[in-house]
Copies of this chain bind each other. A is one copy, B any other.
Amino acid sequence: MYRKSSSENSWMYSDSEKRVTNIFSKYHAQVSSMMQHQFPNNETKINTMLKYFLGWTDSTGQPTNKPISGKALRPILCVLACDAAGGNVEQVMPAAIPLELIHNFSLIHDDIQDKDELRHNRPTIWALWGNPKALIAGNNLRIIADITMNKLMETGVPTNKCLRVNSILTQACLEMIEGQYLDIKYEGETSLTKQLYLEMISKKTGALITAAINIGVILATENQNKLKAFNDFGKYLGAVFQITDDILGIWGKESKTGKPVGADIIRKKNSLPIILTNSNTTNKNQKIIENIYSKHTISNQDLNEILNIMEQSKTKERCLDLATTYCQKALSSIKNVSIPEESRKDIESIALFLTQRQH
């Protein structure tokens, strides 16, 4: 299904790719620069750790030649949604930036939880400075997000709307944390259903992505139909994002993701590919996977065995199909909403990019 639609609409994907490149080049630097402005000038050690993590400096505080940092996806989604709903893009920035800061706060704490020593091919904060300091650095970033959000008033947004935006973000953080909890709880559970998985990712990843969209829209309009439509769009898009993340966690190219093929299997993660494989393979194969996952470390032979079972079960195709289905649901949600043509194309392009992304 995925490949078919991909080849049928190849002209569209090509146009869409250019559009995505333009969107990222237009907003990424702006977001990055505004993010840097949120850090106080006093060069405390906490700032050094955070600036390192955000890719602006090395671990000694020296600026990096080629800043490494995330895609700033959440602020960009917020800005695009605001634009699509007819809002003022300049005004939305102090509400868009905290989304990226909170996302990074959660990554810093995730790395501690998962004992991950590398992210974007660089040592994580805890790996360099130890758990206690990494924990504090994460909490500090969370506060910088709050302080940034408090600047929303200065852009002329009415105070009651500021409080609503604040409340959306708070609620999203709560759901994100619940999702992280479920993720940890499900570790090692071999009988996790697709339904439970989708509920978990709707919280862990979906909540902040949906909040990004909702915040952008709420700063643009009070129209209930638009708010509802974009909220649905956000929910489906959040699922798309995590599904492709899970695909990349197994079949992503190391040159693009910085992780070896099968990384999530090596880490015995209970992600979508494992769930879909288990529900589409023989009992014998299920047992093989279960046995491998019960081992202390997973050998190359084990990894290849699971990858073979996944190939037989067409797991990758099933995952891609699911991503495409959710992408279509996302786009259907906003089909009947009046959106300027260019904005709609931007949003559609980003949704397609998230469905097909390689990193």
Interface, chain A (partner B; CB < 8 A): 44-46, 109, 112-114, 131-133, 135-136, 139-140, 142-144, 146-147, 150, 153, 159-160, 162-163, 166-167, 170-171, 173-174, 177-178, 180-181, 184-185
Contact = CB atoms under 8 A, between A and B. Distances in A.
A144 B135 CA distance: 19
Given A146-B170, A170-B146, A178 B131 contact: no
A177 B40 CA distance: 14
Contacts of A159: 159-160, 163
A145 to B, nearest CB: 10
Given A147-B174, A159-B159, A159-B160, A136 B180 contact: yes
B45 A139 contact: no
Contacts of A44: 178, 181
The list of the 4 closest CB pairs from A to B, nearest first, reads A113-B132, A159-B159, A146-B170, A143-B174
Contacts of A160: 159
Given A139-B109, A140-B177, A181-B46, A150 B132 contact: no
A184 B166 CA distance: 32
A18 to B, nearest CB: 40
A130 to B, nearest CB: 9
Contact of A163 (B46, B143, B162): B162
Most buried by B among A44, A133, A135: A135
A300 B181 CA distance: 42
A150 B177 contact: no
A139 B112 CA distance: 14
A184 B133 contact: yes
A173 B143 contact: yes
Contacts of A166: 150, 166
Contact of A113 (B131, B146, B173): B131
Given A143-B170, A163-B162, A173-B143, A135 B109 contact: yes
Nearest to A163: B159
Contacts of A109: 135-136, 139
Given A150-B163, A163-B153, A181 B143 contact: no
Contact of A177 (B45, B143, B184): B143
11 contacts: A45-B181, A45-B185, A46-B177, A113-B132, A132-B184, A136-B184, A143-B174, A146-B173, A147-B174, A150-B163, A153-B163
A163 B157 CA distance: 13
A140 B181 CA distance: 10
A46 B159 CA distance: 32
A136 B114 CA distance: 12
Which of A159, A160, A162, A177 has the most C-beta atoms of chain B within 10 angstroms of its own C-beta? A177
